[in-house]
Amino acid sequence: MASKLKALNDWVDDVARLTRPDSIRWCDGSDAEAAALRAEMLADGTLMELNQDTHPGCTLHRSHPSDVARVEHLTLVCSKNEDDAGPNNHWMDPAAAHAKIDALFEGCMQGRTMYVIPYCMGPIDSPISRCGVEITDSPYVVANMRIMTRMGAPALARIEREGTFVKGLHSIGELDPERRYIMHFPEELTIKSYGSGYGGNALLGKKCHALRIGSWQARQEGWLAEHMLIVGIENPQGETHYIAAAFPSACGKTNLAMLIPPEGYRKAGWKVWTVGDDICWMRPGKDGRLYAINPEAGYFGVAPGTSRSTNPTAMETIARDTIFTNVAVTADNQPWWEGLPHGAPATDWQGRPFDAKNGPAAHPNSRFTVSAKQCPSWSPHAEDKHGVPISAIVFGGRRPSLVPLVFEAHDWTHGVLIGAAMGSETTAAATGAVGVLRRDSMAMKPFCGYNYGDYFAHWLSFDKPDAKLPKIFHVNWFRKGDDGKFLWPGYGENLRVLEWIIDRCKGAVGAHETPIGYVPREGDLHVEGLAIDERALDTLLAVDPMGWASEVADIGHYLESFGTRTPEKLKAEQRRVAAALANAGAPARKVAAG
């Protein structure tokens, strides 16, 4: 099978001449192809079959011990102008980058099969979706791309119809960390990745296309490609409001996407629908609202910490037909990782007999790849070609003090400032100093394919007279009391905060106006049945003008770090909030609903 599109065939021929594979296989995405590929990988040890009685259809892959995570310092944005990449990216001149990586690709597929994977990010018939083709020498990548994208003949038909696609060239090479690069050429809609077989470095539809190249495409075409979950909250009246939410890592993104309502809410008729757990593409609809799709078709989730107590929905999702990567294995061949209450590891993630002296049994970044349609809370509207309408955008971070449980931006510009300023404080789990604030604007720091200053300007550009934009909020599940314990229980109880957010969007509940935004008034948050005292709730919703004055001054310095590319409108908003905090001696003003 080859393509009717000359540009695609020519590119495949060029790559074949460069890499010199033994054979070329065009992937059609069929069940027969997937079964044959699985059998080949089981035969050669690329995959290992897990306990088919407890985990039917599940397999294990062990990656090279030096190839277990994204490598941000080797991830480059190769725009023609270095300022277009910005200080938030590592940059290399495009001509020099092509020459450097093409020298590595020279003859690298000798003795291997070259797979050509046409794929679509998003529902195959959605005008918001975009297509790409990944060429790879890794059958593991093919198997994962089949789960994570709409891959095969339908995608190829769309590519041939449209005539454009993102080019992704990948080889595992020698898996040598000294010969490893992930390069992005935004103006050329091209990705080149060499020397890694791991997830985001090798599944080029994911972070490389859907975020780094996708964010560039979105800016050119007038939409947003964001590192956000999409969740639908259905109330007892049958109304569903969709929320897009961005959090840095270790802030409970997947748990929120698959949230299970507290018992009282479930009995009252509340339901939660999962549209996406990681990436969100939004564009304005004819009615002025933002409509979102999940460009991915599966979940590439972190296993450690996932359990029936933290995320029972995820555990149900991965009970069958899942590829596990770098987890441990029990004596009876079941997958195991830290955080599971039952079972014990017999073999660690490297295939060695488990010994605690060697470190965790499962790699801390071990993963599962699974179809989104297996999720019990998967939304029937996840495949809607025009997307779901977004009522609210939520930003969040891990902040043990200062930042309230929830607050609402005064308007869109203020909301963009809140998103630009978001971040998390480091914990003992990370190397380096504890309690250091690391800003991660819109949770896009490793993924924005161009200068953050231009990215902020792009966000601001959506505020047009005919726009009906979502309200913007910030949440913080991680505020602590004087005893160092979390004040908010989190997990399913976070629905109580989402209920207030939705009621604010509907104009059904009031708020206190503060210099940093609107916060719930006493009695606005439903806390019935929740073991939390009034003092804790007061602390959770408190706004400290002195502390915030220091925070907002720091935000000003952060915005200046992007130089002249930072929009003046955003700097003016920062100054407005700073002035409001300086005048914050007066008591907070109550705002009526509506």
Q: Which residues contact 293 (CB under 8 A, 6 or more apart)?
A: 122, 123, 126, 128, 129, 276, 280, 281, 384, 387, 388
Is 424 marked as a binding-site residue? no
Nearest to 484 by CA among 423, 428, 545, 543: 428
Is 413 marked as a binding-site residue? no
242 contacts 231 by C-beta, under 8 angstroms: yes
Cα 140 to its chain centre, rounded Å, is 21
Q: Which residues contact 535 (CB under 8 A, 6 or more apart)?
A: none
Is 491 marked as a binding-site residue? yes
424 contacts 398 by C-beta, under 8 angstroms: yes
Is 492 marked as a binding-site residue? yes
Q: Any idea what DSSP says for residue 587?
A: P
For residue 225, the surrounding DSSP H or E stretch is strand 224-226
13 contacts 26 by C-beta, under 8 angstroms: no
Distance between CA atoms of 491 and 191, rounded to whole angstroms?
A: 37
Nearest to 349 by CA among 357, 361, 359, 340: 361
Is 250 marked as a binding-site residue? yes
> Is 251 known to be catalytic?
yes
Pairing of strands 388-396, 471-475: parallel
Is 198 marked as a binding-site residue? yes
Distance between CA atoms of 304 and 250, rounded to whole angstroms?
A: 11
Which of 108, 251, 280, 505 is catalytic? The answer is 251
Is 192 marked as a binding-site residue? no
For residue 591, the surrounding DSSP H or E stretch is strand 589-591
Distance between CA atoms of 542 and 265, rounded to whole angstroms?
A: 26
Distance between CA atoms of 436 and 431, rounded to whole angstroms?
A: 11
| Long-range CB pairs of 429-432, under 8 A, 24+ apart, other chains included | 429/250
Is 561 marked as a binding-site residue? no
Q: Which residues contact 510 (CB under 8 A, 6 or more apart)?
A: 521, 524, 590, 591, 592, 593
What is the number of other CB atoms lying within 10 angstroms of the CB of residue 547? 14
**Structure-derived torsion over alpha carbons of residues 569, 572, 576, 581, reported in degrees to the nearest 10:** 120
Is 181 marked as a binding-site residue? no
Is 493 marked as a binding-site residue? yes
- Residue 143's SS3 state is helix
Is 252 marked as a binding-site residue? yes
452 contacts 236 by C-beta, under 8 angstroms: no
Is 358 marked as a binding-site residue? no
Is 200 marked as a binding-site residue? yes
Degrees to nearest 5, angle at CA 473 with 468 and 478 = 160
105 contacts 172 by C-beta, under 8 angstroms: no
329 contacts 64 by C-beta, under 8 angstroms: no
DSSP annotation string for 365-426: T-EEEEEGGG-TTB-TTTT-TT-EEEEEEEEE---SSSS-SEEE-SSHHHHHHHHHH-EEE-
Distance between CA atoms of 138 and 63, rounded to whole angstroms?
A: 12
Is 365 marked as a binding-site residue? yes
Is 251 marked as a binding-site residue? yes
Is 253 marked as a binding-site residue? yes
Is 255 marked as a binding-site residue? yes
Is 494 marked as a binding-site residue? yes
Residue linked to tokens 């549209």: 275
Is 227 marked as a binding-site residue? yes
Is 144 marked as a binding-site residue? no
Is 366 marked as a binding-site residue? yes
Return binding residues.
70, 198-200, 207, 227, 249-255, 278, 365-367, 398, 491-494
* Residue positions forming the annotated binding site for substrate: 70, 198-200, 249, 365-367
Annotated binding site for GTP: 250-255, 367, 398, 491-494
Residues placed in the known binding site for Mn(2+): 207, 227, 278
Q: Which residue numbers are catalytic?
A: 251
